Structure 1
Amino acid sequence: MDPYFLLLAVFGAVILLTAWLPLILKNLPLSLPMVCIGIGVLLVLSPFSSIVGVNPLENRYLTERLTEFVVIVSLMGAGLKLDRPIGWRKWGSTWRLLGIAMPLTIAGIAILGWAALGLGLAAALLLGAALAPTDPVLASDVQVGPPQSGEEDEVRFALTSEAGLNDGAAFPFVYLAIAVALSQASPQPFLADWLLVDVLWKIAAGLAIGWIGGKAMGFFVFQMPNRVGLSETRDGFAVLGITCLAYGTAELANGYGFLAVFVSALALRSVERRHHYHESLHIFAEQIERLLMMFLLVSFGAAIAEGSIFSALSWPIIAVAALVLFVVRPLSGWISLAGSPVTLRDKAAISFFGIRGLGSFYYVAYAVGQADFEGAPVIWVTVCSVVLVSIIIHGVLVTPVMRRLDHYRSG
């Protein structure tokens, strides 16, 4: 039996399941990421284990690039979904989550890494920065609906906009961890460069390139004369061009590409909010995102079954994972929303559903490629533990909780 054709058959079956399962899981306390991990586990335990292939989680560069791509596609999709115009008051919950909850979460996780896991300053800071952002890829069940669908209550909006922006907001802290790690090998002042370059310049460049590029693409897509606008093609795959152009341009300018992609999507929507082409772009982005997520999570499940991820698992790591998900994030989110007009039920949901996922893998893979971190295996095991528990707990609870919140609103 040719393993290549067997691989094609299994791959096709998994893709069909990924397309079909959301219909089955819609009203069940399960999520597609949970099923993908289960498929990976079953593949290793089945006669098809020989075709699972190279586990991307064991290859730092492959992990970095695959997770990077799925995150930027997800960020574009998240930005296209948001109907609410950007503003200080309209986005009040978002600014609170970014400006208060994010730093508190990073600090809380870093302290846990230092006190409970014995990590040094650089490694503890990297752990906090990697685990602080809400994941845009795995949080689709708590995000707003497609463009102009009307599914934009405060919980869904806050979590979607937070996931879109906090990847860019977390990156300065990843760079700070890298700078601290490099300074331990060669002591040099780094705070001034970090503040000027990694904070001020990279954020400003990401915002500016994203906004200007999104506005320019909006003209090209919707406002070109004589019916030659890109929207006339109705081709959804153009979203990949917009995404890669925004990301690549920002990175070439030494800015934050994640930030540029999300902002470019917001700017594109601002040019023409009600055009049907937004839905075509969003649908294609969602399909690509789901396909890449399926591949990565099936591989993650296979690595779990092989035992190559959790061989160094310990009780302190389990305790830290539980504290991150059930104490640090919820408490930080609750503090950040104190005094806001959001209802208590919505505050609780926003604070709890800070889903961790593939973005955390990207940050760790990127950072360990830039500097040597003492305790890197502990960081990997902790991140994988948090992501796995987050997928299971949030995946089980999100459907009944969001259904209950919708019931309270409609009542």
Structure 2
Amino acid sequence: MEWSQIHPTSLHLSFLFLSGIILLYTVLSRFLKETLLLAEPPLATLVGILAGPAVMDVVKPPTWNLGDHATKELARITASTQVFLVGIGLPEGYCRKHWRGIGILLGPVMIGGWIVCATVIHLVFGASYPSALVISACLTPTDPVLVATILEDPKATSDRIKDLLAAESGVNDGASFPFLYLGIFILTEHSVGAVLRQYFTVTILYQCIASVAVGIALGYGANRLLRYSYERGRITENFVALFPLALIFFSLGFSSTMGMDDFLLVFSAGVGYAYHGRLEHAYQVNPVATSFISFSLSIATFIYFGLMIPWAALTDTPKLSLLKMGLFVLLVLLLRRIPFLVALKRWNPDIETYREALFCGHFGPMGVGALFLSMEARDCLRTSCSRTRTTRSNRWDEYACETVELVWPVVCFTVLGSVVVHGLSMSLAKLTRTLVRSQSPLVKSSSPSNSPGNPSERLNGGIYHDEESLL
């Protein structure tokens, strides 16, 4: 007998599934993170892959009829929340004091990675170089969600390196827009003068420089307004704690409405809000609300990503194949950052050893920001591509169609490789430390003397400390 009250629509079943996974992960979080040593992004992505059309076909996003818009907005909100939290959590005046180290990461390292990735895309997939520049630009930002797995581990590396990677992940999501729009302008504006005019007036001056200025002003002004109201007893404690979270969405709404750089503006708002240094208790972001919102968005985004991975593109797209994609992901992980950070180590005051340079080069994960930029590229180039179906096309419109066809699958599978490699790297690091700690009693018991002044014991202690920290 079937009950008429039961209406199991695909969208509602998906809500039930996604929320159930978040609840289950919550009650098992300590076991998963401390016993099984699993980080949220790779686990959430695996859940999405298993539940999606590729395996069990329980959750079917295409039947929701949400289109790219919902995916793009989810990625925008998730990345914006994370970069704001990065901005608000940096030490006082960090960006001002460490501008040289951050500048090297945002300048030579990002530019070098952009060119290298574009070259690899051109060679591996046979894409035109203009198309390769756009696709490569989507892979320039590092993901603040995946970087957070490093920041959460107190023994992953020094606070100095953690702050550097956090600042980079907060800034370069927005700093990747100039790379993306340069490639888009090359495909849509067919003269050098038009490209340069659009690029410097719209992208550099308005979307980047103005976004930073407006973001700092919004964040600082919001903080001063909150203090003024709180000190005069015009606001309750509960609303004080939630005020910064509302500021995230206000800044995001403002930047989207005005056509500015979302991520740069929101990050700058976080920096401006924390202008007075580490905020005292009354003005801190509510840790419970922040953790819940950040965790839920991250889990939901990576589950959704696992559901949306375009597996069929590997066989349906002529220029793609499993072998080519695997080779491309491997080359990107090896060449995108590591050679540049090692080569520039001597000029970066925040990186003291080549071991730290290798660590920073390895931990440049690609994630939510890359997905957002790929959808932004598709939206901007669809008009040019559509002309090839209605009129006689020129080669630039053909390049635009090529970009629209390749950008989403290439970015998705590269992000998948990054989630697996960078997400599990910290799990392997924790496992290594656990094994080192389990062997330490044997090392100490074999020591010829327990005297503190014994040189060999001091050496053993130094070796153990260095191995335990992994850096």
What's 2:311 paired with?
Answer: 307
What's 1:212 paired with?
Answer: 217
Cα gap change, 1:243 to 1:225, in 2 (>3 Å) = closer
Contact 1:144–1:156 under 8 Å retained in 2: no
Cα gap change, 1:382 to 1:56, in 2 (>3 Å) = farther
Contact 2:378–2:407 under 8 Å retained in 1: no
Does the alignment pair 1:116 with 2:143?
Answer: no
Helix, strand or coil for the counterpart of 2:275? helix
Whole-angstrom CA distance in 1 between matches of 2:464 and 2:428: 10
Cα gap change, 1:145 to 1:83, in 2 (>3 Å) = farther
What's 2:466 paired with?
Answer: 408
The amino acid that maps onto 1:123 is S
- Equivalent of 1:66, from 66, 74, 79? 74
Contact 1:84–1:90 under 8 Å retained in 2: no
Does the alignment pair 1:393 with 2:393?
Answer: no
How many residue pairs match? The answer is: 405
Once structures 1 and 2 are overlaid, which stretch shifts more, 379-388 or 275-284? 275-284
Cα gap change, 1:53 to 1:248, in 2 (>3 Å) = closer
- Equivalent of 1:365, from 353, 363, 375? 375
Whole-angstrom CA distance in 2 between matches of 1:281 and 1:295: 21
Contact 1:355–1:390 under 8 Å retained in 2: yes
After TM superposition, which residue ranges in structure 1, 4 or more long, deviate above 6 angstroms? 45-48, 55-58
Once structures 1 and 2 are overlaid, which stretch shifts more, 401-410 or 318-327? 401-410
Contact 1:81–1:144 under 8 Å retained in 2: no
Contact 1:246–1:261 under 8 Å retained in 2: yes
Contact 1:218–1:271 under 8 Å retained in 2: no
Whole-angstrom CA distance in 2 between matches of 1:320 and 1:296: 24
Helix, strand or coil for the counterpart of 1:119? coil
State the Cα distance separating 1:221 from its structure 2 match.
2.2
Helix, strand or coil for the counterpart of 1:189? helix
Query: Which structure would you say has the larger Rg?
Result: 2
Does the alignment pair 1:13 with 2:20?
Answer: yes
What's 2:347 paired with?
Answer: 339
What's 2:94 paired with?
Answer: 86
Cα gap change, 1:326 to 1:187, in 2 (>3 Å) = closer
What's 2:182 paired with?
Answer: 176
The amino acid that maps onto 2:311 is G
Helix, strand or coil for the counterpart of 2:401? coil
Contact 1:144–1:153 under 8 Å retained in 2: no
Q: Which has the higher contact order (CA 8 A, sep 6+)?
A: 1
State the Cα distance separating 1:181 from its structure 2 match.
1.5
State the Cα distance separating 1:284 from its structure 2 match.
2.7
Gaps of at least 5 residues in structure 1 are: none
The amino acid that maps onto 1:299 is Y
Cα gap change, 1:121 to 1:399, in 2 (>3 Å) = same
Helix, strand or coil for the counterpart of 1:307? coil
Does the alignment pair 1:76 with 2:84?
Answer: yes
State the Cα distance separating 1:378 from its structure 2 match.
2.3
Mapping for residues 186-197 of structure 1, pairs under 5 Å: 189-197=194-202
What's 2:328 paired with?
Answer: 320
Q: Deviations over 1:1-22 (max 9, x none)?
A: 6425755543332121343454
Cα gap change, 1:280 to 1:121, in 2 (>3 Å) = same
Identity %: 24
What's 1:155 paired with?
Answer: 161
State the Cα distance separating 1:392 from its structure 2 match.
0.8
What's 1:298 paired with?
Answer: 303
State the Cα distance separating 1:49 from its structure 2 match.
3.4
Gaps of at least 5 residues in structure 2 are: 1-5, 386-399, 434-462
Whole-angstrom CA distance in 1 between matches of 2:126 and 2:422: 28
The amino acid that maps onto 2:376 is Y
Whole-angstrom CA distance in 2 between matches of 1:270 and 1:2: 51
What's 1:378 paired with?
Answer: 406
Once structures 1 and 2 are overlaid, which stretch shifts more, 69-78 or 51-60? 51-60
Mapping for residues 48-59 of structure 1, pairs under 5 Å: 49-54=57-62, 59=67
Cα gap change, 1:243 to 1:230, in 2 (>3 Å) = farther
What's 1:126 paired with?
Answer: 134
Whole-angstrom CA distance in 2 between matches of 1:88 and 1:274: 18
> What is the aligned-residue RMSD (CA, Å)?
3.2
Cα gap change, 1:240 to 1:257, in 2 (>3 Å) = same
What's 1:353 paired with?
Answer: 363
TM-score (norm 1): 0.87
TM-score (norm 2): 0.76
Contact 2:95–2:167 under 8 Å retained in 1: no
State the Cα distance separating 1:365 from its structure 2 match.
0.3
Q: Deviations over 1:129-187 (max 9, x none)?
A: 100110112321123689xxxx9712211111001000111101111111112135x99
Contact 1:167–1:258 under 8 Å retained in 2: yes
Contact 1:3–1:51 under 8 Å retained in 2: no
Whole-angstrom CA distance in 2 between matches of 1:296 and 1:233: 28
Whole-angstrom CA distance in 2 between matches of 1:197 and 1:406: 53
Whole-angstrom CA distance in 2 between matches of 1:193 and 1:118: 28
State the Cα distance separating 1:408 from its structure 2 match.
2.8
